[in-house]
Amino acid sequence: MESMTVGICPLTVLIADDERASRDVLQKAVSAAGRSVEIAKDGDEAVALLERDAFDVVITDLNMPGVGGLEVFRHAIRVNPLAQVVFITGYGSIEMVMGAIQDGAYDFVAKPFKLAEIQLVVRNACEKVMLLREVQALRGEKSGADGKDSGARDSIVSASTVARAVGNAALVREYARAARRGSADAMGVGGEQVGSGEAES
């Protein structure tokens, strides 16, 4: 089972699934050093947990009785705009999930899935959370500096927004590097290049 360095703040993961067997498999698959995993037996319980805590990564079944995965997704990003949401879904619901990804969800895994598949998706989602945290921290450092770097700060903020739209962790990484150099403009990443990128899976 993979592990990752997460610094001072551990990553929090929420699993929401109304099938116990699926919950158990997912919990086993995504548990790793530096991650705190909580379980919700349905969408209602997931929403209640989200109202209490902000989770970094949310793994939710799309189709659950009562509150479904889409509503869990909306609550997750309302509480934590940097949250990465992964849907577990059957092939018949992929079109619905793709719409959610356009609205900011991270990715989906189709049933039946392999453990290695969900582990890879969650590992990538956790990496993206860490990168976004870094960008946010860099933005905070620059906000205390003189106004001469305001343009770079604005570019960093837009980088987070674009990265959520396209699911591109590499883009966030590059903007973080640009921030260290003191100018996001040095990246030369235009809208055309961003729009042509594919969602990370």
Dihedral sign for Cα 52, 84, 164, 160, please.
positive
Tell me what pLDDT residue 80 has: 93
Tokens 């610094």 -> residue? 7
CA distance 83 to 190: 25
Q: Are 12 and 30 in contact (CB under 8 A)?
A: no
- Taking domain 11-127, whether its CATH number is 3.40.50.460 is answered by no
pTM attached to this predicted model: 0.68
Tell me what pLDDT residue 157 has: 47
Tell me what pLDDT residue 112 has: 85
Question: In the chain, what percentage of residues exceed pLDDT 90?
Answer: 47
CA distance 193 to 49: 38
Span 34-41, mean pLDDT?
94
- pLDDT tens digits, residue range 144-195? 555 545 544 454 444 445 455 444 555 555 544 555 555 444 444 443 333 3
Q: Which helix (H) or strand (E) holds 22?
A: helix 20-30
Span 136-141, mean pLDDT?
74
Tell me what pLDDT residue 143 has: 60
Tell me what pLDDT residue 156 has: 45
Domain ranges of the chain: 11-127, 131-189
Tell me what pLDDT residue 181 has: 52
CA distance 2 to 148: 42
Q: Is there a cis peptide before residue 112, judged by omega within 30 degrees of 0?
A: yes
Q: Can you give the C-alpha Rg of the chain in angstroms? A: 17
In the structure encoding, which two tokens stand for residue 1, read together?
A: 């089972």
Average pLDDT of the chain to the nearest whole number = 76
Tell me what pLDDT residue 147 has: 53
pLDDT-derived band at 95, boundaries 50, 70, 90: confident
Q: Which residue has the higher pLDDT, 1 or 58?
A: 58
β-pairing, 107-110 vs 57-61, is: unpaired
Q: Which helix (H) or strand (E) holds 61?
A: strand 57-61
